Structure 1
Amino acid sequence: MVHIMSKKAFLLWRSCTLFSRVSQKFMDSGNQTPDRVKEIQPTVATGSAPGEVNTPVLQIGEVVAERYKVIELLGHGGMGSVYKVEQIFLKQLFALKTLSGQNFPDVAIRRFQKEAQAAMKLNHTNLVRAHDFGILPSHHPFYIMDLIEGENLSEYAKRIGTVPLDEILRIFIPVCFALAYAHSEGIVHRDIKPGNIMLEKSGGPNEPYIPKVVDFGIAKLTDSEGGDSVNLTRTGEIFGTPLYMSPEQCLGTKIDHRTDIYSLGCVLFEVLTGAPPFHGESALNLMLKHQSEQPSSLKEGSMGRDFPEALESIVAKTLEKDPDRRYQNLLELAEDLAVLQRANWAPSASSTLARTVPQIVKPAFAKAEPRSWKITAVVGFLCLIVGALGGHFLTKPTEKVEVKVVEKSYIPPLPVEQDRDLLAGGQYLQKLVGKGPTAVRQFKFPETFSIGELTYLDKFGNFRQGVPARGFVEIPLLSEIRLKVRQDNLRKHPDLLKAFGDYDVNCLHLEKSKAAVTHNLDLELDAALAYCSRWKAFNNLNIFDTSISDIGLGCVKECPNLVSLELINTKCTAAGVRQLKCFPNLATIGISGIKGGKSLIPDLIKSKIINSFGVGDLDITDEDVRRISQAKSLVVLVLRQNMRVTDKSIEYLKQLPKLNTLFVDSTSVSPKSMEALASLKNLEVLTVNGDLWTQDDLRRLQAMKPQLKRLEASARSREKKEKDDN
C-alpha cells in the first residue's frame, strides 16, 4: 500500500513539473481568457504566465499564403495567437491561429500540426470548422477556421449571473453530441473548459446562440495513423487546465475519451453552482484534489440551492474518479440530460398556439386505454398502409396497375443564412385561421430550401402527397400530417425538426438520400430524433435505409402515442426496439434486416391491436409463421425475403380471419399452395415469388379467387424471367 501511494505521489510531482514547464498556465478564478478579448472570437487562447512574452508573428495588413490578409489580432496567450483575416479572393472573413514566440521544440510544432489535422477532420454543427493549414515563412504553423461571433460560456455566465437550468441543458446537450462525434473520429479534446465553449450569435429570437466547441489545440488522435502520433501523447506529457482536468490526466497516465466526460462534468458543475468542483492555491494542490477529494453536491457547491435529484446524480456520475464508473460515452450523458429536459419542459405561456391547438387536436391521442387512436389507425393509416408499411415492403411495380412516377419535389439544400433564425429558434406553425373543424394551420417553412415532403388532406378533402415543405403551406387543423425527410438534408440541418410544435407532426418518415453518406456522421441522425421526443401527436415512425441506431430510438422511447414503427435496413437492433415505451403494443410493425429482429416476434404478437406485421430478411421459418398466425387481428402480413417460408406456412395463415394483404415474394411459397391461398376468405392483395409462379399460375389463382384486386409476381423475378426468355 505504501509503495502504491509513493508511486502516485511521484507521478503527481512529475506531472505538475511537466505541466508547469510545458503549459505555464493557471487560472485564478476558474476561467482563462485571452490577454485581449474581442466580441468576435474563433477560439479562447490560454493566458500567459506572469512575465512571459508572446510576440505576435503577423502584422496588420500582411498577406499569408498569398490569400489571407491579416485584419487584427483577436487574442493571444500560452503558445498561440489568433487573428481575424480576410480571404482576399472570396472576400470572406476567417480566423487564423498560429504559434507565437520563438525557438519552438519540434514536438510543439508537430503537436500543432496534429491539431490542424484533427480540426480539419471534423465537420459538425457544434464544432468550429477548420478550412486550411500551412507553414509560414518564419516556420510558424497556422490553420484557418471559422470566425465565431459571440462570447464564451465563461463570459456569458459572468454577464448574466445564474443561468437557468433549461438554458444550461440547451447548451450542454448539443455539446455532448459534438464531442461524441469527435470521439467517434478518434479525437479527444483534452482541454474542455467554459472558455472553450463558444456561444455563436447565429440563433433565432428564442435561442440567440448556437453552442460550439473550440480549440482542439491539444487534441489527441487516439487511432494513431503512424509516424509521431503516439510519441506526441505519451505518458508524462501533461496538457489541460487544472480546474477541469481528470484524475488520470493529472497523473500523466494514459487517457481516452472519458477524460473529456470528466472535464465536461466539471464545467457543468461550475455553470450550475457558480464555481468549479475543486479549488486550490496551486496547480499541484488542485491536481491532488482531483485525485483524492470527493466533489461536493450541487446543493453544497451553490450554498444551499435545490437541484433535481436526477441532475445531482448525473453530475456526480461524470465526476467519478474511476473512468469505468463514469458515463462511458457522451451519448449516454446526452440522453440523461434530454430526459431531464423533457421533465423540465413546459410550453411558453405567451404562445397562443401552444394553448389553443392542443385543445382541439390532443383528445384524439390523449387516452391510453381504451386506445382512442385505434379507429384512427385503422381508418386513417390503413388508407396509407401500402404507402406506409410498404416504403420497402409493399412498393413493387405491378403488371396490372400502371404506376406513374411523380416528379420529385425534393429540392437540394441551398445556403440558409436567411432561414437560420427559423431553424435555430423559430416555429414553423405561424397561426391558426378559423374555428372548429374548418380551421386551417398556416406554416412557414424555410424559403431557400425544402425541409422535406408533406402528405395531408387539404381543406377540400383531397389527398395531397409529396408537397414540398418550403415557404408558406396551409394544412387543415383536423388533418394528420406526414413528413418525409431525406438523410442528407437532416445531416446538413440537424435542427430541422426543432421548429415543429408539439402537435404538428403525426408521422415522420426518414429515408436514404441519393448522395453517398459516411458512417462517421451517424450521430447527426440519432441526435435529430431528440426533437421528436416532445411531439404529443406523434404516432408513426418510419425509417428506411438510413444509419439510425438504437441511440436514435432511445430519443423517442418515451413517446406515449407511438403505434406504428418501421425499421428497414437500419443500424437498430432488437434491444433498441425493446426500450420503446410503446413496445410491444403496436398497431403496425415492420422490421427488416435488424440484428436480433426475429426474437421480437413472441412479444409483438401479444399486442391486442396489431393489424400490420412485416418481417423481411430475418430468416423466418414456417414455425415462426405459425407463431405469427396467433395474432388474430392481422390485416396485413409481409414475409418477403425469407426463403425458409414454404407452402406449409399458408396452412397456418388460414387462422387469420381478417388477413387482407399478403406478401410472400422472395419466399419458397409455390403454386402448390394455390388452393390454400384461395381459401383465405378476405384476401384481396397478394404478391408471390416470380421465380416459382408463372403467368398461367397467376391466371389460375385469379380464376379460383376472383375477389383478388391485386395479384402479381415480384418485380425482380419478372425481370429475371424476361431476361431468361430472351
Structure 2
Amino acid sequence: MSQTVIADRYELICEIGAGAVGVVYKVLDRNLKKTCALKTIKREPDDRQLLRFQSEAKAISALRHGNVVEILDFGLDADNKPFLVMELIEGENLFDLLQRQGPPEEEEAIEILIQVADAMDYTHKHGILHRDLKASNIMLVESKEGGSPELRVKILDFGLAKDLGSEDAGLTNKGQAIGTAAYMSPEHARGGKLDERSDIYSLGCIIYELLTGSPPFHGDSPMQTIEQQLNARAPALKRAGTDQDFSPDLEKVVARALEKDPARRFATMAEVRDALIQCRDGKQIREPDGETTETIPRQLNSRVVTIFMVLLGVTVFGAAFIMLARYGASDEELAVDSISSPPPDSALAGSWSPFPWEDGISWQKRFEIEDQDLREIAREGTKKYVSIWGEEDITLNGFAYLEQLQPLGLAMGELPQMDASWLQFMSRKMKSLEVLYFPENDQLNDDFLVYLKDLPHLRFLALTECSISDQGLQELAAIKTLDTLKIDEIKGLTGDGLRFLIPLTSLHRLCLQEVRLSKQAFQHLAGMNQLRVLDLEETGTTDEDLKTIATLPLTRLDLSKTPVTATGLAYLDVMKDLQVLRIYDCKKLAPQAVEHFKSTHPHCKIIKIKSRSSHVHFLLLPDEDLDRESIIDPDKNSGSK
C-alpha cells in the first residue's frame, strides 16, 4: 500500500491477511493509542463496490455482541478507497486449528458451536445475514474472564453481510452465488433468495467439520462440491471415518441443519443453540412438531438439459430460467441422457465444463468472460438458452457471435456495455428468439423496446429493475405474439401505460410485482379480458382495486403482500374460474374470510406461504406442478399456515 498513514489517524504496521477483494492490515490508532485491524479493497472500486462496502460497514458497526468482531470506524483514504477499522483479533481460526491438531473433544467443540450459534442468532435478530460463514471466519481467542482460561469465539468478515432491512440490500447482484463451496447452502448455490436458514446450513457444515475434521461435502473441484451441496445426502457423523462415537442427539442436530429443504432445517439460530445446549447437558432434544412454514419443493423434472449457459459466480437464474427453457422448447430439444464433458476437439474443452443445475446443465467458465469466450460457446451450436450476468468486458462484437446459435432464449443482466444497438442487432439477426429476460439493466429504457416488435416469435418478456416508462409500454403492444409479460421493481412506473396493452389479445400472463399501481392502472387491467394469470404481489392493491378487476376471467391471482381485507376477497366471489389464489403475508386478511372463500370456491387452491420458487413459476407452471411446488390444498391441508 502506498500510504503509511490512513485518514491522518491509522499508522500501518504490517499486512495480516488478504482475500480476493480486500486486504487487512495491523494498524496503530494514533488517537486512541491502540492497535486495530484495518480492511481495504485491493483495486479501484466501482460505485457498486463502494456502496456495498459502505453497506457492510453500516450494517455491522451497529452490532455489539461479545462473539462478533466490533467495527470501530470506516471512511475513505487519500486514494478514495474505502476502509473499515475493526478490533484486532489475535488468535487462531477454526480452520487452522483443525489443520494443526484435528478435531477437538466433543465437549469443547459444542461449547465453541454454542457461542457461534448465539452470535448468529443476535445478528439475525438485527436483520443481518453473514452469507459466508465458514471455519476460517471463526476466530478463537483465549479469554481469562472468570479466572480460568477459556476459548472465546469471534466471528469475522461480514464482508458478504446483507442488511435485510435496508433498501440497499440488493447491492450485491441479486441471487449472485457468492460464498465458499464447502459451506454453501443449496439455495445459495442456485442463486436463490436467502434467509437465516442459509446461514444455519453453513453452520451445519461447520459443526460436521469441527467434529470430524472434514466438511460434509468436498469434491475434487469447487464445482463438484457445489454439485454435492445441491444433490448429495448429508453423511452421518458416524460415517466420517473417525474413532469417535457421537450421541444420537448430536447426529440429529447435524442432520437437521444440513437438510436440503430450508423448511426442514432449524427455523432460527436460537433453536440450533438450544439444541446444542441440550446435547451438552445430556438432555433429550425436542423433536420438531412437524409443521413447517413451507412445503417441500419438488424437483421440476429429472431430465437433464444441455441447453443453457451460465457463468461461474453469476449463476442467478437457476430453475427460473430452466422454466423458461421448458416453456420455449419441445421435449425432444430438452431430453438428453447424461452429463458429459466437452469432447477433446471441442472449442470448450479445457476451459468450459458442464455443471448440473437443478433441471439442467450450466456451462461454467472459471474466470470472467470476454468476447472470444462467446465465440467458443457459439461454435458448439447446441446451446439454445444463454444467460449472461454482470460481465463488464462483453461488447456488441462478442454478443454478435451468438447469432450462430440462433438462440431460443436470452437472459442478460447487468451488462454495462449493452445499449440499444444490441437489441437492434438482436431484432435483425436473432429472429428465433422466444424468451427474453432483462434483469438489473439501469440503462435499458424505452429506446431499447422499439426493436422487440421485429422478433416474430417472442412469447415471454421479463423486465426487472430497468428504466422503462409507462409510455414505453406502447412499444410492447406491437409484439403480437407476446403471451407472458413480467414487469417488476421498476421505479416510477404507475401502470397507466397498461392501456396500450388492452388490444394485445395474445397476452395471457402478466406480472407487475413491486410496481406501485395507480387507480387508473386497475381501470386498464379491467379491460384486459384476455388475461388468465395476474401477479400483483406488493403492488399496494386495495379492496376497491379488486372490485374494479373482479370481472376478469382469471385462473390464477397473486395478491401477496397487499393490504386487501375480507371486503376485497368478497369481491372475488364472481371469479368462478379461479384455480389458484396466493395470499402470502396479507396481514389484513382475516382467516375467517379465507375460509369463507374456500367454501364458495372449493376447487381453488390457496397459497398462504412464501414460495421458494420464482414468479416465473407462478406465471408458467401447470396447476398440477404448482400443486407439488408450494400450494396449500384446502381439502387436504386446511390446518396449514
Give the greater-gyration-radius structure (CA): 1
TM-score interval w.r.t. the shorter chain?
Answer: 0.3 to 0.5
User: What TM-score results when the alignment is normalised by the length of structure 1?
Assistant: 0.38
User: What TM-score results when the alignment is normalised by the length of structure 2?
Assistant: 0.43
